[in-house]
């Protein structure tokens, strides 16, 4: 999956405990970044060696969180579909919303040579 | 002992209660003393005279009948104690002689051996914290007083009682470790004897820390072309609870491996704010936030629920603003703030 642009907003900086409190969200999020949960990040987990390194490390830190936000976004009632494909007859699907889920089992299809 | 409420009252009875004036006679009992945050104190207030509703006069005529129902007043010193002391017991302060007898500026009277039927005013005008420990541990306890003691707590504008904040739970280690449970907050004011409170300062509960997030180990490259690789990411630590002392942020183990990344510690707690949980590593879960600081919250947040990890730690319970062993909450006056819950029928420690 192509990762979206990620926004971050530093809420607090704590030089004594060497950490920052940050909010993350994707650029095209459907609510304000201020409505997302804050997280604390230790300085040791951020690369301050250059602006580019800082940006990359913040993006790297924020990416899993933003993906979780995306996955956990509520589903519109209008978009709630049925799961499962049980036939290849296209007429069975006219007018229906069908949900196709990603297979994370890692199993490969068996190929007989 | 309180003086009688009617009939003939003798000068000898008055001086037995309040001491003998160093010079002069009954007029010397017209006093106006300032002690700690209390000013213009009469010898005894509010409950004197034939109707038991007056002060001992501070100026003008003074009569023997003004002394009906009068009691010796003790002011326990929790005002000159300095800021940021911890775990005080007002009765132990009295036992140690940290007390002012109202009227002693004129009589030199020293504290009697007990407070039976006397009035005791606990005057708090400093910042006092609790500790990190049991939920019922208090910044200030009244202590248990002698029978018939009339007890009042006067918290001045600089008087602040804080429960301690619970530490955040540690993050789970990268090899599917469970997040640690957070510690409980402690409490501010413990009542062990019936009393009233006039609060012009602050009484604030200690609040619980956030639970730690779980760590996670997972295998990648499970296809046929590449050998499988193990990756582990640690969980984030929980936020530290608010209070004095404040809770520490939970520590995230820095033991990521493979393509995993390390989580972050939870945010350190503060005096009166909610602290954020630490961000988990790329496969790990985030730590929970410490409790909100308000009158209804009961605990800090659990660590993030993620069943792929080793499991989350639970948030720590909040302490209490007031714990009383009495059957009902105490009467509180004054414009100060009380933040946190009150619990009755519970012995403070």
Average pLDDT, chain A: 89
Interface test with A, best of B251, B254, B267, B277 (most A CBs within 10 A): B267
The average pLDDT across B80-105 equals: 97
Q: Kindly list the residues from chain B whose CB atom is less than 8 angstroms away from the CB atom of residue A47.
A: none
- Does B124 fall in a domain? yes
- Does B294 fall in a domain? no
Q: Which domain holds residue A57?
A: 6-71
- Does B197 fall in a domain? yes
* pLDDT tens digit sequence for B296-317: 999 999 999 999 999 999 999 9
pLDDT, position A86: 83
- Does A112 fall in a domain? no
Interface test with A, best of B167, B214, B279 (most A CBs within 10 A): B279
* pLDDT tens digit sequence for B137-173: 999 999 999 999 999 999 999 999 999 999 999 999 9
Give me the phi and psi of A93, to 5 degrees please: -110, 0
- Does A37 fall in a domain? yes
Q: Is the pLDDT of residue B75 over 90?
A: yes
- Does B170 fall in a domain? no
Q: Is the pLDDT of residue A80 over 90?
A: no
Q: Which domain holds residue B20?
A: 11-165+188-206+321-343
- Does A87 fall in a domain? no
pLDDT, position B217: 95
Confidence of residue B240 (pLDDT cuts 50, 70, 90): very high
pLDDT, position A103: 65
Asked if A108's CB is within 8 angstroms of B261's CB, the reply is: no
- Does A18 fall in a domain? yes
Confidence of residue A112 (pLDDT cuts 50, 70, 90): confident
- Does B47 fall in a domain? yes
- Does A95 fall in a domain? no
- Does B86 fall in a domain? yes
- Does A67 fall in a domain? yes
**CA separation for the pair B59, B178 (Å, rounded):** 71
- Does B154 fall in a domain? yes
Tell me, letter by letter, the H, E, C secondary structure of chain B: CCCCCCCCCCHHHHHHHHCCCCCCCHHHHCCCEEECCEEEECCCCCCECCCCCECCCCCCCCCHHHHCCCCCEEEEEECCCCCCEECEEHHHHHHCCCEEECCHHHHCCCCCCCCCCCEEEEEECCEEECCCCCCCCEEEECCCCCCCCEEEEEECCCCEEECCCCCCCCCCCCCCCCCCCCCCCCEEEEECCCCEEEECCEEECCCCCCCCCCCEEEEECCCCCCCCEEEEECCCCCCCCCCCCCCCCCCCCCCCECCCCCCCCCCCCCCCCCCCCECCCCCCCCCCCCCCCCCCCCECCCCCCCCCCCCCCCCCECCCCEEECCCCCCEEECCCEEECCEECCCCCC
Number of domains observed in the structure of chain A: 1
Q: Is the pLDDT of residue A105 over 90?
A: no
Closest CA to B165 of B289, B312, B311, B337: B289
* pLDDT tens digit sequence for B101-131: 999 999 999 999 999 999 999 999 999 999 9
- Does A50 fall in a domain? yes
pTM metric for this prediction: 0.91
Structural element, H or E, at residue A71: helix A51-71
Q: Is A90 on the interface with B (CB under 8 A)?
A: no
Residue in chain A lying closest to B269 (CA)? A17
pLDDT, position B24: 86
* pLDDT tens digit sequence for A82-102: 777 888 999 988 888 988 887
Q: Which two tokens stand for residue B177?
A: 């470790």
Q: Is A44 on the interface with B (CB under 8 A)?
A: yes
Q: Is the pLDDT of residue A1 over 70?
A: no
- Does A59 fall in a domain? yes
- Does B29 fall in a domain? yes
pLDDT, position A108: 60
* pLDDT tens digit sequence for B24-34: 899 999 999 99
Residue in chain B lying closest to A44 (CA)? B264
Q: Is A67 on the interface with B (CB under 8 A)?
A: no
Number of domains observed in the structure of chain B: 1
pLDDT, position A109: 64
């Amino acid at each position: 999956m192509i990762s979206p642009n990620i926004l971050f907003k530093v809420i607090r900086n704590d030089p004594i405990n060497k950490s920052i409190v940050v909010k993350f969200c994707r650029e095209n999020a459907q609510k304000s970044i201020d409505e997302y949960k804050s997280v604390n990040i230790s300085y040791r987990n951020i690369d301050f060696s250059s602006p580019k390194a800082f940006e990359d490390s913040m993006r790297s830190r924020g990416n899993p969180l933003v993906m979780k936000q995306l996955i956990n976004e509520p589903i519109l009632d209008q978009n709630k579909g049925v799961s499962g494909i049980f036939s290849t007859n296209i007429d069975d699907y006219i007018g229906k919303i069908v949900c196709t889920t990603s297979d994370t089992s890692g199993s490969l299809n068996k190929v007989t040579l | 002992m309180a003086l009688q409420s009617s009939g003939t009252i003798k000068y000898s009875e008055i001086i037995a209660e309040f001491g003998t004036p160093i010079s002069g006679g009954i007029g010397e009992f017209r006093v106006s003393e300032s002690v700690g945050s209390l000013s213009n104190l009469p010898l005894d207030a509010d409950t004197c005279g034939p109707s038991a509703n007056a002060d001992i006069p501070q100026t003008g005529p003074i009569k023997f009948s003004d002394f009906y129902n009068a009691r010796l007043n003790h002011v326990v010193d929790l005002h000159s104690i300095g800021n940021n002391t911890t775990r005080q017991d007002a009765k132990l302060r009295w036992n140690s002689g940290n007390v002012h007898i109202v009227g002693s500026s004129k009589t030199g009277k020293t504290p009697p051996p007990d407070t039976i039927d006397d009035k005791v005013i606990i005057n708090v005008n400093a910042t006092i914290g609790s500790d990190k420990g049991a939920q019922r541990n208090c910044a200030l306890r009244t202590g248990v007083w002698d029978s018939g003691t009339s007890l009042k707590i006067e918290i001045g504008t600089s008087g602040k009682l804080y429960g301690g904040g619970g530490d955040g739970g540690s993050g789970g280690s990268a090899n599917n470790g469970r997040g640690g449970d957070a510690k409980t907050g402690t409490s501010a004011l413990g009542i062990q004897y019936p009393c009233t409170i006039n609060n012009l300062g602050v009484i604030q509960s200690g609040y619980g820390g956030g639970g730690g997030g779980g760590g996670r180990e997972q295998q990648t490259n499970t296809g046929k072309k590449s050998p499988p690789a193990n990756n582990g990411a640690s969980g984030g630590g929980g936020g530290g609870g608010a209070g004095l002392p404040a809770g520490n942020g939970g520590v995230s183990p820095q033991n990521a491996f493979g393509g995993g990344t390390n989580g972050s510690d939870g945010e350190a707690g503060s005096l009166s704010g909610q602290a954020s949980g630490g961000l988990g590593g790329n496969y790990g879960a985030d730590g929970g936030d410490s409790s909100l600081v308000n009158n209804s919250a009961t605990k800090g947040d659990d660590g993030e629920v993620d069943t792929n990890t080793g499991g989350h730690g639970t948030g720590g319970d909040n302490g209490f603003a007031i714990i009383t062993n009495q059957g009902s909450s105490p009467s509180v006056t004054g414009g100060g703030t009380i933040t946190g819950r009150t619990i009755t029928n519970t012995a403070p420690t």
